[in-house]
Amino acid sequence: MSQVLNKESEKYLYQQVIDMIKKMQKSDVLRVGDKLPSLRKLSQQLNVSIPTVKLAYLELERQDLIEARPKSGYFLKGQANILAVPKRCRLTKDPIMVDRQHFIEHIFNAINNPKMVPLGISAPTAAYSAEKALARIMRQVLTKAGEKAVSYAPMDGYPPLKRQLALRYFDYGLQVDQSEIIVTNGAQEAIAIALKCVAKPGDVIAIESPCYFGIIELIESLGMLALEIPLCPVDGIWYQDLEKSIKQHNVKACVFSTSISNPLGSFMTESKKKQVVELLESHDIPMIEDDVYGDLYFTEKRGMPAQKYAKKGLVLSCSSFSKTAAPGYRIGWLLAGKFSDKARIIKRALSCSSSLINQWTLAEFIMGHQYDRYLIRLREILKCNKDRMLAKIQAVFPKDTQVTNPQGGSVLWLKLPNNKDAKELFYQAIEENISIIPGDVFSPSNRYKSFIRISYGIPWNKNIETALEKLSSMCKIL
């Protein structure tokens, strides 16, 4: 910032600083998510006092143009969403047998190419990796423990890791005995065990709509039926729809994201969470809560696990470190409520135990307080990427595009303009080395034909902006 302020002008100096920053934003020199110079640096550059710059920043903050992030400085904020948020989908009449696996596999084979701009994959740690810190810890563990670190772990998990998990639950106001925690191979295995605990083939499982496709695949492979309950883009499941579905169908269990959902990025409020748990427990229906994105919130506070509101032990909590530390470690966990004994037997039968060295490394990562510091930074980066991506979409996509404004997580959910077919866009994008996920995979009943999911959980660069421009032109050609 080498501009010179006019000290002779009648305009206050702080106002001139404001004008300068707005001008730089308008001419695209400063972009959403960019960090502004520190007070000291800008005061030196412009040869004005620190209080003058401070006053300018405070005013820009008041105008909602910049935001102060604790211990990080001031950043240019994303502007209010000018595109609409996707509307609520209709309630399905009946549960259905799921048949999506081939299609999901087909999509994954197509996007599994390292040359792609990876907008299809939701692996938020790619935006800011913990790999180096984890690798260092792992080397230390191996040096210290040798062979022991790579032998079998106790069946339900490495005790120091379970203790750390119990302490984290304690922080949320939940008293969990560490013996209740079962460490699993990712959240996917935790959800599979939970489903096997509470339902059998042919049973009806209520799921969110749109729903993370891994859960749809799981229900299919277990021979269960899926009943789609519409999800509100802001605060999770539509309560009235859930109530109605329970009255009409013999719902055996539910699988819901209780903090941040994928792909909508909605954030279930505490009151709604409590209401949902009470409703389900009053009908003796177990709820499997998928909390994998719980720590990636952009709201002031983390959402509490729904487990906190369970009175009858009917909430089974599933989570993992896949979105918050290392997806390849495949470490997740399950808190199975009153189904603990059954869950332990299923875990043993399925996979005996989960990788000891990975659990050990994660336990040390948490104990050394690096994990919490890492999460703070990861959230900041994701929030900043989200603002940048939304700003770019608003700038280049036609006005009838609809897009969510997620309250956490790492993905956006877009309704394409001109009712563009998402599958067609998917194939066009693949040709251009861009991966996206078409909406159909998020529903067992093939809805969301003109929706896509794109990820901002990647290191931000020019290629992403170019990819968004290309996607938008593909949508404009009819």
| Binding stretches for ligand PLP (CB under 6 A) | 122, 186-188, 212, 214, 257, 262, 290, 292, 320, 322, 327, 332
Nearer to ligand PLP, 328 or 459 (CB): 328
Q: Is 134 helix (H, G, I), strand (E, B) or coil?
A: helix
How would you list the strands of the sheet with 411-415, edge to edge? Answer: 402-403, 411-415, 451-455, 437-438
Min dist CB 241 to ligand PLP, Å, is 20
Query: Sign of torsion, CA 9 14 15 17?
Result: positive
Min dist CB 41 to ligand PLP, Å, is 40
Chain residue whose CB lies nearest ligand PLP: 186
Query: Which residue in 293, 315, 363 sits closest to 153, CA to CA?
Result: 363
Nearer to ligand PLP, 329 or 374 (CB): 329
The single-letter code of the amino acid at 263 is P
Greatest distance between any 2 Cα atoms in the chain: 80
How remote is the C-alpha of 303 from its chain's centroid? 13
**Alpha carbon distance 335, 372 (integer Å):** 22
Indicate the DSSP class of residue 427.
H
- Retrieve residue 307's tokens: 């487990």
Nearer to ligand PLP, 116 or 187 (CB): 187
Min dist CB 432 to ligand PLP, Å, is 24
Judge whether 414 and 393 are in contact, CB under 8 Å.
yes
Nearer to ligand PLP, 21 or 111 (CB): 111
The single-letter code of the amino acid at 223 is G
Which residues, including other chains, have CB under 8 Å from residue 226's CB and lie 6 or more apart? 95, 96, 98, 204, 205, 207, 211, 216, 219, 444
Judge whether 259 and 301 are in contact, CB under 8 Å.
no
Min dist CB 193 to ligand PLP, Å, is 12
**Alpha carbon distance 174, 167 (integer Å):** 9
Nearer to ligand PLP, 33 or 303 (CB): 303
Min dist CB 18 to ligand PLP, Å, is 41
Q: What is the CA radius of gyration of the chain?
A: 24
Asked if the bond preceding 114 is cis, omega within 30° of 0, the reply is: no
Min dist CB 293 to ligand PLP, Å, is 6
Nearer to ligand PLP, 1 or 104 (CB): 104
Min dist CB 125 to ligand PLP, Å, is 11
Q: Is 208 helix (H, G, I), strand (E, B) or coil?
A: strand
Min dist CB 302 to ligand PLP, Å, is 16
Nearer to ligand PLP, 333 or 426 (CB): 333
Min dist CB 70 to ligand PLP, Å, is 28
Nearer to ligand PLP, 56 or 190 (CB): 190
Q: Is 332 helix (H, G, I), strand (E, B) or coil?
A: strand
- Retrieve residue 291's tokens: 């909390």
Nearer to ligand PLP, 156 or 420 (CB): 156
